[in-house]
Structure 1
Amino acid sequence: MSLSSAPHPPPFGRALCAMVTPFTADGALDTDGAQRLAARLVADGCDGLVLSGTTGESPTTSDDEKATLVRVVKEAVGERVPVVAGVGTADTRHTMKLAADAEQAGADGLLVVSPYYSRPPQDALEAHFREIADASGLPLMLYDIPGRTGTRIEPATLIRLASHPRITAVKDCAYDMLGTQKVLGATDLAFYAGCEEYALPLYAVGGAGYVSTVANVAPSALRAVLSSFDAGDTGEAARRQQLAAPLLELMMASDLPGTVTAKAILNALALPAGPVRAPLRPASPETTATLLTAFEALTATS
C-alpha cells in the first residue's frame, strides 16, 4: 500500500497455500488427489492456492503436468478461490510458454520466480519480468527468494516494476524487512510472506498475507493469526503465531525442504501427497514422528 493511496483488497486473498503436488505411489501426477487436497484446503480456510512453486516440486514436473495440475485444481475449486500457477524458470522464453499454458488451463494469476543460476543483473531481471507480464493477460506475483535463485529483486527494481499494470504482488522470501517496507511505502504491490515466521510482522506493516507451505497441514491455525489481527486482538495474533512456531521451525528450518516435511505429515494423515521426486528423499520415520508430535500439539491448542 503506497502512503498516498487507500488500501486495496489483496489480489489473491490473504491466506494462500503453496500446495504440494500429489503423486501416485509409482510417481505419476495424482490428479484425483490434487483435486481432493485442493478442496480440503479451501474448506479449511485457504482463500488462494499456489501451484507448482518450490513446494509443488516445479523443477521435477513437466510442462504438461503443470498445465494439467492447474486445470484439475481449477475444476475442483471453481471460482471460490484464485489459483496461481508457478511458471518461473531460468529461461525467459520457457517462462513465457508456461505462462501461456497456465492461462489457457484456467489459472487466475502467475507466480514468477527470478531466473536462477544465470544471476542476471537488475536491468535484465526487470526486462525479464516485463516480458512475462506483457505476454500474458494474467496478474503476476513476483517471487523474491535470493537464497535459492542467487539473485535479489532489489527494492528499487520492484518499485519500477510496480508501474506495470499486471505486476501486482510479491512473494517475499528476501528476509529484508526494511527493504520490504520501503517498497510498501512507495507502491501498491501486495506483499505476501513466503517465510511463515514473517507472516504476522509483515501483515502488521501492511502486508497482504502469506503464501505458506505449512498451510498444507495446518491451514486453520495459520489463518487464525491473521483473523485475530484483523479483529484488533494483536495479543491473540501474537499468541497464535508463537503457538505455530515449533511446527514452522521443524517444517521449514530443519535440514529438510518443506516439500518433504509437508508430504510426510500429509501421508501420515492419509491425505493426498504421495512420494517426493528425486533428488528429494522422503522423511525418515523418526523425523515424521517428530513432525506429527508438533502438528498434534498445534492443532490441539488452536
Structure 2
Amino acid sequence: MSPLTNGVSSANGQVSRPLRPGIYAPIPTFFLPESEDLDLPSFETHIARTATAGVGPLIAGSMGEALHLSHAERATLIRTARKTLDGVGLTHIPLVVGTGAGSTRETIELCKEAAEAGADYAIAVISGYFAGVLGGHKAGLKAYWTEIAEKSPIPVMIYNYPAACGGIDLDSDIISELAVECPNLCGVKLTCGNVGKLTRVADIVSGSDFASKFPRKNKNAPFLVLGGYVDFVVPSTYANGHGAITGLANVAPHASVKLFELSVASLNDASLLPEAQRFQGILARADFTIAKASIAGTKYLLEKLYGYGGVPRKPLPPISSDAGQALWDHPHTQDLIKLERELSGKVKAR
C-alpha cells in the first residue's frame, strides 16, 4: 500500500488529511483548443488516474501553469480536484496547491483562497522578478516564507526552483532555519536537484528530537524534504528524505510510486535494493530526457498515452510534431512506458 493511501478524516478546523512521505505530481492544467478555457473533464480524468495509482496531486504548480491562471481558475481547479478525489473514494488524499505570487501580500491572499476552496496545504515559490535584490538578501528571503507561514490558514511548503526564480537558490542553512523557526511550514520541494542540500536539511528535520524541540503548528503536517525530480529517490531515501514532487509521475504514476516503495522497503530488506536501483535507472534516464521537453512535452506524451493533454496556454509554445515524435520514440521514454505498462496492466496506448 502506498504511504499516500492511509489518512484520516475530521470535521474540525484542522488538517484532516495528513501530509505523508511519498510521490506527488504537479498536475498539468488542461485547456480547451481555440478558447483556452479550462478543460475540466480532462483534468478530472487525470486527477483520478494519478491518485488511484498512489500519487498525491499538487494543483497550480509550475507544471500546472499557475502563472497563466486567474485566482478564480485556481479555485475552480481546487474544488474540481477535491470533488474528483472524493468521488472515487479517495477522501483521505490531501490537496497541495501552489500559491506563490509576485508579492508576499498576494501569496497570502492565494493561500487563504486555496484553503477556502478545499486545499489542505500550500506550496509557495518566490518571484524572480526582483532576483537582483532578493537573491543575495537572506533576511528578505526568510521574511517571505516566515510571513506567509504565519498568516496562511493552511500549512505551507517552501518551493525552491532557481530556474523559475531568476536564479534564486535557497541554501541548506536558510531552509533549515526556516524549518526551525516557522511551525506552520510543512516541508520543502528541492527542484534545484541538489542532493547534498537535501541530505543536510533532512539530517536536521529527521532527527529524533526535531519534532519535540520544534513542533509543527499542526501535528498532521510534518516538515517533509522532497526532491523536485524522481531521478534521486533512492539516494534521497537513504539520506532520510521523504520522496519527491515530480512531473514524471504524470506520465508514469505506477512506476514512480513503485520506485519510492522499493526504496523505502530496501532500508529493512537489502535484497530489494538491486530492484530499487533498476527502477531508479529507468526513471532517472526518462526524467532527464522528458524534463527537457518541459510542460509541452509532458502534455504531448499524455496525449499519446491517454488521449488528452493538449497544449500549454499562450505564450508558452506547444512542442513541434517532429520534436514530440522524437521524444516519444526516444529509448529513455520507451523504457519508461514499457515499465509503466507492466505495472499498470494497461493495454498498449495508441
Q: TM-score, normalised by structure 2?
A: 0.78
Q: Do structure 1's residue 140 and structure 2's residue 121 form an aligned pair?
A: no
Matches within 5 A, 1:135-214: 135-149=151-165, 150-163=167-180, 164-188=182-206, 189-214=223-248
Q: Is the 8 A contact 2:125 2:159 kept in 1?
A: yes
1:30 maps to what in 2? 39
Provide the C-alpha distance between the structure 1 equivalents of 2:318 and 2:94, rounded to a whole number of angstroms. Answer: 30
| Contact 2:99 2:122 survives alignment (8 Å) | yes
Question: Hey, what does 1:53 align to over in structure 2?
Answer: 61
Cα deviation, residue 12, structure 1 = 4.0
Aligned to 2:146: 130
Q: Which residue of 2 aligns with 1:7?
A: none
How far did residue 237 of structure 1 move?
0.7
CA contact (8 A) 1:229 1:237 kept: yes
Q: Tell whether the 8 Å contact from 2:75 to 2:117 is kept in structure 1 after alignment.
A: yes
2:105 corresponding residue in structure 1: 93
Residue deviations 1:156-190 (CA, integer Å, cap 9, x gap): 22122113221011001223322322222222431
Q: Deviation per CA, 1:83-131, whole angstroms, max 9, x where unpaired?
A: 1010101211111111111000000100101232212211111111111
Task: Name structure 2 gaps, 5 residues minimum.
Answer: 1-17, 207-222, 267-271, 343-350
CA pair 12-57 structure 1, distance change in 2 beyond 3 A:
farther
The total of aligned residue pairs comes to: 290
The 1-side partners of 2:79 and 2:307 are apart by 21
Question: Which residue of 2 is the match for residue 70 of structure 1?
Answer: 78
> 1:12, 1:18 → 2: CA distance?
16
Alpha carbons of 1:175 and 1:297: their partners in 2 closer, same or farther (altered >3 Å)?
Answer: closer
What are the Cα deviations for residues 49-105 of structure 1, in whole angstroms up to 9, with x where unaligned? 111111011111111111111110011113231110101012111111111110000
Q: Cα–Cα, structure 1 residues 62 and 202, in superposed 2: closer, same or farther, change >3 Å?
A: same
1:40 aligns with 2:49: yes
Structure 2 distance, partners of 1:279, 1:56, is 14
The separation in 2 between residues aligned to 1:179 and 1:44, in whole angstroms, is 29
Distance in structure 2 (CA, Å) of the matches to 1:221 and 1:67: 30
**Conserved 8 A contact 1:172-1:193:** yes
For residue 279 of structure 1, give the secondary structure of its aligned residue in structure 2: coil
Do 2:53 and 2:257's aligned partners in 1 also have CA atoms closer than 8 Å?
A: no
Q: Could you say if the C-alpha distance between residues 38 and 13 of structure 1 is closer, same or farther in structure 2, counting changes exceeding 3 Å?
A: farther
> Contact conserved, 2:189 with 2:227, CA < 8 A, in 1?
yes
Partner of 1:269, secondary structure, is: helix
The equivalent residue for 1:242 is: 281
CA RMSD of aligned residues (A): 1.9
1:272 deviates by 3.4
Distance 2:40 2:321 in 1: 26
Cα distance in 1 for partners of 2:310, 2:92 equals 26
The range that moved more, 263-272 or 76-85, is: 263-272
1:272 to 299, 308, 322: 308
Structure 1, 176-185 or 138-147: larger mean CA deviation: 176-185
Larger CA deviation: 232-241 vs 266-275: 266-275
Taking only the aligned residue pairs, the percentage that are identical comes to 27
Per-residue CA deviation, residues 214-264 of structure 1 (Å, 9 max, x unaligned), is: 111111111111111222211111101112233212211x3x32x111100
- One-letter code aligned to 2:139: D
Q: Does 1:218 align with 2:252?
A: yes
Q: Residues of 1 paired with 2:274 and 2:60: CA distance? A: 35
Gaps of 5+ in 1: 1-9
User: What TM-score, normalized by structure 1, do the two folds share?
Assistant: 0.90
Q: Deviations over 1:186-214 (max 9, x none)?
A: 22431111022222221221111010111
Matched to 1:19, the amino acid is I
The one-letter amino acid of 1:81's match is: I
The 10-residue stretch of structure 1 (88-97 or 11-20) with the greater mean CA deviation from structure 2:
11-20
AA in 1 matched with 2:255: A
- Whichever of the two has the greater Rg, that structure is 2
Of the two structures, which has the highest relative contact order with CA contacts closer than 8 Å and spacing of 6 or more?
A: 1
